[in-house]
A and B are shown apart, each in its own frame.
Chain A
């Protein structure tokens, strides 16, 4: 029944330092701090909705994917004896206090160890999603007999798509679909075709926020309800996804093309040799019409 079903929410936050650094210079009202605040509000709300709800937060950096929550260093009861951070200072639910402190500490450590590397400027989103799937898988295996769990992944995306991660991304999407894991996407800047596809395939919601400073409101309104509740609510309609493939030779979007049966590469024109795997092909041409000999009609 719905009461016995656990709900696991994994939030994957894009903390690309280059994008956020530029953002801080462009729009000082909305910086990574504000974003992390909004994420924390969202995660607290999720944990408070039902006692059995579970949560995980992964920071997707350009050099690593790091779990902000739950942390390896945290064991329940760790902070009990520590005076400085003992208990909740503002009467908040203990779990939330501890969680927020952990997240803060982890994100600070993460950004501190950021190094300047010119060649690594893109968010490792596919890797973070893969870690999220593995975490979900682990938690599923650790469930008690008879317990069921529904999981979803919420991606908060800042920087642009990484073209080189395409294959890994698609693999992650299909794996999530197989496991019935929803992928929701909340996009801050540019539209992401890959995430649109992910949401369409897994059944999640895609939203491009018009106002970044109201991020918390969007997260709570659109992404907090789980699948069962979403069917009862009026939420933004699904985005039309352009599934057209681009040919390998020109990278143009095509509707009808030729596919090599050996290596599955897509081409817009027929060529007798596939340029990717060098297989030779023959195509049957329509039968050539022979020129008919015209019979000279006798003139009467």
Chain B
């Protein structure tokens, strides 16, 4: 039953679960259901365990709410109240919708991470099954090492690159005629996001008006209808929502132009001729203030201004993300590649930049680094290398003279007698020695172990090795034992190793004996475990001695 301290947020009567009538209780940390007339909850789920909720579609006769847990289990609740089933269900849904996100983030991430790791790595999964499921070590110990290893990874993958905005995103919203004199614009969430990021003014308008005054659909219809969106922006002064936006854009553009170009490398305006006085050169008047422009020029100028403004805004979204978050008005952030720090473009930096671009290191002259020469004192050691001292056959000079004379004499009279190279008896003894079972063939006809042992036994042996390796790794990493934590751990690991031997290794050995496999497959494993036990024993005796 609910503990007295639990706050019940919502009670919904007439809720069926598994064909039983009852009531649904939504509490501060869990959702529970009790059958009619009973006090105890038969179904109870913590919000942290619920992954998501689903509702049956509107048209269906049965009004249901389904809870999907992280483990994959689903629980269905059927709202049967005649009058207010939908309302009840919606109320429950809304409350859950608010509560679930709070609990979601805490447990979700870790579990998801662990599940993901187990799924990705079958070896890890097998190890988990061998060690944790069979109760050799606890799950916390298993994850203790690994979660720390992977959380670094995770943070690295989080810092993915942001996708930029295509400059043609507005143009990509190609309208389609819908038959009778109308246009149909397809807006995806990507496009909407691009519009918001590029034109913060529009975002502001959206925030102000939706959902209070206009629905989303209406807002976007007005957006596309307004002259703000159109090619020729004629400020009609009408009650257009976006007229203000147009003015803001103009202001923004003016301020951008006013900021000028800080990077002297790309500043084109500084390339103009500056005159001293009349008659001493061309006077560079301001190019923007010209009165006698034709109408066409004016409209061209307007389009060009809009293009420039649009491009500048698109660039701004990519450059200063932090600034856009800090400042309300996106236009005040530096939008055209200017660094915020004007000191950055002092003459000294300019010189460095120029130098960088004209010098190539591989075209420079080589300055060879002087290497240290090898200074060998006893180089004769290399002539014989790392070999044993061979006892040389010593021949006296008389022996040598005799041998040479003998051989010279022999070879002077040499004629090949190829028909008398081999007698049949010697040949047959040689063949006997070379046949299987002969003198020279000992040790060759042994079958490879992997041909004699069945595959499933090999698999199991591999799993045993992996599991034993993991436990032994934990065990040996405790040495040298410096802290009390390590002491505890080493004792625990010793008992874990014993348990492993009893629960896994011994049954395997028995199984092998039953199958009459004579090869000793587990000898090495036992040896490793024995060495670990010996080490533990010596450590323990030394500890006892120190204490006494």
Chain A residues contacting B433 (CB-CB under 8 Å) are 210-211
A226 in the interface, Cβ–Cβ < 8 Å?
A: no
Give a binary string over B412-449; 1 marks a CB under 8 Å from any A CB, 0 the rest. 10111110111000110111011010011111110000
Chain A residues contacting B377 (CB-CB under 8 Å) are 275-278
Contact between B410 and A31, CB atoms less than 8 A apart? yes
- The total of chain B residues at the interface (CB under 8 A) is 56
Contact between A21 and B430, CB atoms less than 8 A apart? no
Instruction: Point out the residue from A31, A114, A236, A275 that lies within 8 Å of B378, measured CB to CB.
Output: A275
**Minimum CB distance partner of A234 in chain B:** B436
Contact between A218 and B387, CB atoms less than 8 A apart? no
Give a binary string over A7-48; 1 marks a CB under 8 Å from any B CB, 0 the rest. 000000000011111101100000111101110110010000
Contact between B414 and A107, CB atoms less than 8 A apart? yes
Contact between A111 and B431, CB atoms less than 8 A apart? no
For residue B542, give the distance in angstroms from its CB to the closest CB of chain A.
12
Instruction: Point out the residue from B401, B404, B422 that lies within 8 Å of A217, measured CB to CB.
Output: B422
Instruction: Point out the residue from A121, A237, A245 that lies within 8 Å of B400, measured CB to CB.
Output: A121
Instruction: Point out the residue from B382, B384, B386, B431 that lies within 8 Å of A221, measured CB to CB.
Output: B431
With A40-B416, A246-B388, A251-B388 as known contacts, state yes or no: A20 contacts B403, CB within 8 Å.
yes
A161 in the interface, Cβ–Cβ < 8 Å?
A: yes
Instruction: Point out the residue from A121, A161, A166, A245 that lies within 8 Å of B395, measured CB to CB.
Output: A121
CA distance A111 to B402 in the complex (A): 14
Instruction: Point out the residue from A21, A25, A160, A266 that lies within 8 Å of B386, measured CB to CB.
Output: A266
With A21-B407, A25-B406, A275-B377 as known contacts, state yes or no: A167 contacts B382, CB within 8 Å.
yes
With A37-B421, A112-B411 as known contacts, state yes or no: A18 contacts B404, CB within 8 Å.
yes
Chain B residues contacting A107 (CB-CB under 8 Å) are 411, 414
Chain B residues contacting A217 (CB-CB under 8 Å) are 422, 426-427, 430-431
Instruction: Point out the residue from A160, A170, A266 that lies within 8 Å of B393, measured CB to CB.
Output: A160
CA distance A32 to B399 in the complex (A): 17
Chain A-chain B contacts (Cβ-Cβ < 8 Å), number: 177
Contact between A104 and B444, CB atoms less than 8 A apart? no
**Minimum CB distance partner of B443 in chain A:** A237
With A33-B411, A237-B441 as known contacts, state yes or no: A214 contacts B427, CB within 8 Å.
yes
B408 in the interface, Cβ–Cβ < 8 Å?
A: yes
B383 in the interface, Cβ–Cβ < 8 Å?
A: yes
**Minimum CB distance partner of A212 in chain B:** B426
CA distance A37 to B399 in the complex (A): 26
A284 in the interface, Cβ–Cβ < 8 Å?
A: no
Contact between B395 and A222, CB atoms less than 8 A apart? no
Instruction: Point out the residue from B400, B411, B426, B444 that lies within 8 Å of A111, measured CB to CB.
Output: B411
Give a binary string over A72-86; 1 marks a CB under 8 Å from any B CB, 0 the rest. 000000000000000
With A210-B439, A247-B386, A263-B374 as known contacts, state yes or no: A37 contacts B408, CB within 8 Å.
no
Chain A residues contacting B417 (CB-CB under 8 Å) are 37
Q: Find residues 65-101 in chain B having any chain A CB closer than 8 Å to their own CB.
A: none
- The total of chain A residues at the interface (CB under 8 A) is 68
Contact between A104 and B384, CB atoms less than 8 A apart? no
CA distance A20 to B414 in the complex (A): 14
A146 in the interface, Cβ–Cβ < 8 Å?
A: no
Chain A residues contacting B389 (CB-CB under 8 Å) are 163, 251
For residue B96, give the distance in angstroms from its CB to the closest CB of chain A.
58
A296 in the interface, Cβ–Cβ < 8 Å?
A: no
Chain A residues contacting B348 (CB-CB under 8 Å) are none
A213 in the interface, Cβ–Cβ < 8 Å?
A: yes
For residue A45, give the distance in angstroms from its CB to the closest CB of chain B.
11
Instruction: Point out the residue from B410, B416, B421 that lies within 8 Å of A24, measured CB to CB.
Output: B410
Contact between B441 and A21, CB atoms less than 8 A apart? no
Q: Find residues 47-69 in chain A having any chain B CB closer than 8 Å to their own CB.
A: none
Contact between B416 and A104, CB atoms less than 8 A apart? yes
For residue B372, give the distance in angstroms from its CB to the closest CB of chain A.
9
Residue from A17, A100, A214 having most chain B Cβ neighbours under 10 A: A214
For residue B255, give the distance in angstroms from its CB to the closest CB of chain A.
64
Contact between A253 and B430, CB atoms less than 8 A apart? no
For residue B532, give the distance in angstroms from its CB to the closest CB of chain A.
21
For residue B124, give the distance in angstroms from its CB to the closest CB of chain A.
33
Contact between B406 and A236, CB atoms less than 8 A apart? no
Chain A residues contacting B444 (CB-CB under 8 Å) are 234-237
Chain A residues contacting B395 (CB-CB under 8 Å) are 18, 22, 121
Contact between B401 and A116, CB atoms less than 8 A apart? yes
B116 in the interface, Cβ–Cβ < 8 Å?
A: no
Give a binary string over A277-294; 1 marks a CB under 8 Å from any B CB, 0 the rest. 110000000000000000
A93 in the interface, Cβ–Cβ < 8 Å?
A: no
Contact between A236 and B412, CB atoms less than 8 A apart? no
Chain B residues contacting A161 (CB-CB under 8 Å) are 390
Chain A residues contacting B412 (CB-CB under 8 Å) are 108, 111-112
CA distance A265 to B375 in the complex (A): 13
CA distance A245 to B384 in the complex (A): 12
Contact between B440 and A207, CB atoms less than 8 A apart? yes
Chain A residues contacting B382 (CB-CB under 8 Å) are 167
A272 in the interface, Cβ–Cβ < 8 Å?
A: no
Contact between B386 and A40, CB atoms less than 8 A apart? no
With A38-B421, A214-B427, A214-B430 as known contacts, state yes or no: A112 contacts B387, CB within 8 Å.
no
For residue B420, give the distance in angstroms from its CB to the closest CB of chain A.
8
Contact between B404 and A114, CB atoms less than 8 A apart? yes
Contact between B384 and A163, CB atoms less than 8 A apart? yes
Contact between A24 and B406, CB atoms less than 8 A apart? yes
For residue B442, give the distance in angstroms from its CB to the closest CB of chain A.
8
A130 in the interface, Cβ–Cβ < 8 Å?
A: no
Instruction: Point out the residue from A37, A253, A266, A277 that lies within 8 Å of B388, measured CB to CB.
Output: A253
B352 in the interface, Cβ–Cβ < 8 Å?
A: no
For residue A264, give the distance in angstroms from its CB to the closest CB of chain B.
9
B381 in the interface, Cβ–Cβ < 8 Å?
A: yes
What are 14 of the A-B contact pairs (CB < 8 Å)?
A17-B408, A20-B407, A21-B405, A37-B418, A121-B395, A166-B384, A221-B434, A222-B434, A234-B441, A245-B386, A276-B379, A277-B375, A277-B376, A277-B377
Q: Which 6 A-B pairs have the closest CB atoms?
A: A21-B403, A237-B444, A245-B386, A214-B430, A111-B411, A217-B430
- Contacts A104-B414, A265-B381 supplied; 5 other A-B pairs, CB < 8 Å: A25-B406, A166-B385, A236-B434, A253-B388, A263-B374
